[in-house]
A and B are shown apart, each in its own frame.
Chain A
Amino acid sequence: MALHLNLLHEEILEQRLRQRDPLKIGMLVLAGIGALMFLWYMGKAYQTLSIRNQLNTIQEDWNKIEPKVTAAQKRSAELKGIIGTTRVLDTMINNRFFWAPFLEKLSRCVALNAQITSIDGTVLDDEKNVSVMLEGLAAGREPRAAAEELRQLLLEQLGQSYHNVNIEFKTLEDLDTLVKIGGTNMATARFALSVTFNPSATAKGASPAPKSPKK
């Protein structure tokens, strides 16, 4: 049997020990993982940079548009305000009660034998009704009938333009004073008429006349 002598035994053992050094292996593994992580990080950083570029581009676009959009939003709010205000003002204008046509109708109803001495009219805000108090004198052989004639005529004339017209005497009293109309002395009566009506166009339909009970 041949004798083998290994003179490098110690060196080989040292080399083997160096090769299986866990710290060294660990450092190598760590370095490898570190390199991978660095590459991953670089990839992510590149991705971030590209996102940032995209953000900057969009931001520039937005900066160009923003003044226009802000102005447009402001104008839009302004226009909506104008439209709203005009609508409300239109309603106010259209819902006004016009006194001139009423005065004209009233003047047409007053005959020669009647005189209106006072008109006191009010537009009632709550129900959009109009209330007018008329005071005057009526003359004739039967002055009360003359006053009633005026009431009837007013009722007819106002009923053509307004709704829910109601005219009633508040006072009607004979006077001792005589007036001369057309050369004839006539008796006089003083009256006060309360007139109420609704000038709005949306009036309720006329209610049918109540049927007289059968006897």
Chain B
Amino acid sequence: MKKLDLSKDELKKLAVSAIGFVVLLYVYFGFFLGPLRRSQATMVASIKDLQDKVGSSQDTLTNVTNLEKQASAATTQYALLTNSNPEGAPIAWFPPRIKVFFANKQIDKAIARLEGNLSYKDADLAGWTRYNWTIDLPQTDFSTLGYAVAELENTEPLLSINHINIHALGEDPQFQQVNLSVATAILKR
């Protein structure tokens, strides 16, 4: 094997070349290829993310179409329930509505008073409020009251009578004085 016979000057030049090579590698990988690879990796990840989104978007659109079909009955019923109550503060429209209702049932005097309101604990009813009312009917007869209560319960699905008090008027026993405690679910607007 032939031995390399390098002079001191040649060794110095060789060392400079080696250092230059290392610097070249560092610059190449550190400032050129590295950022390029990072950029590529970021873009590939973005592409994957977008592809996933585009892929799942088709499912989302299909699901919504199916859900729309399935929820048609619920949507109609929900619209009916929400539209049954007018906008505005319930205390403004509920007592007059009750007064008109009982007047149409031959019970001339009906007074509805707001007892209080509270939010529902159920998360599904977060947008609804329970209003408690007292309805006083100072004079009515039992039969008329029965029909009126039946009509009230049938026409107001979101109204429930929690307490009923009927007592005969002392001086006129065919007539009764009635007090109803009712609760209604009303959409917050």
B residues less than 8 Å from A62 (CB atoms) = 50, 53-54
User: Which B residue's beta carbon lies closest to that of A65?
Assistant: B57
Tell me whether A104 and B13 are in contact (CB under 8 A): no
B residues less than 8 Å from A90 (CB atoms) = 77
Interface of B is mostly: helix
User: Which B residue's beta carbon lies closest to that of A71?
Assistant: B64
Tally inter-chain residue pairs, CB-CB below 8 A: 186
**How many of B's residues come within 8 Å of A, CB to CB?**
67
User: Which A residue's beta carbon lies closest to that of B122?
Assistant: A88
* In the assembled complex, B92 has its CB within 8 A of some CB on chain A: no
User: Which A residue's beta carbon lies closest to that of B41?
Assistant: A51
**How many of A's residues come within 8 Å of B, CB to CB?**
67
With both chains docked as a complex, state the minimum distance between the C-beta of A100 and any C-beta of chain B, in angstroms.
3
Of the candidates A34, A66, A122, A123, which one forms a contact with B24 in the assembled complex, judged by CB atoms under 8 Å apart?
A: A34
- Contact (A118, B166) CB under 8 Å given A45-B36, A73-B60: yes
On B, residues with C-beta under 8 Å from A are: 6, 10-11, 13-14, 16-18, 20-21, 24, 28, 32-33, 36-37, 39-40, 43-44, 46-47, 50-51, 53-54, 57, 60-61, 63-64, 67-68, 70-71, 74-75, 77-78, 81, 122-125, 127-128, 142-143, 145-147, 149-150, 153, 157-158, 160-168, 173, 185
> Can you give 9 contacting A-B residue pairs, CB < 8 Å?
A30-B17, A61-B54, A69-B53, A69-B60, A72-B60, A80-B67, A82-B78, A120-B164, A121-B163
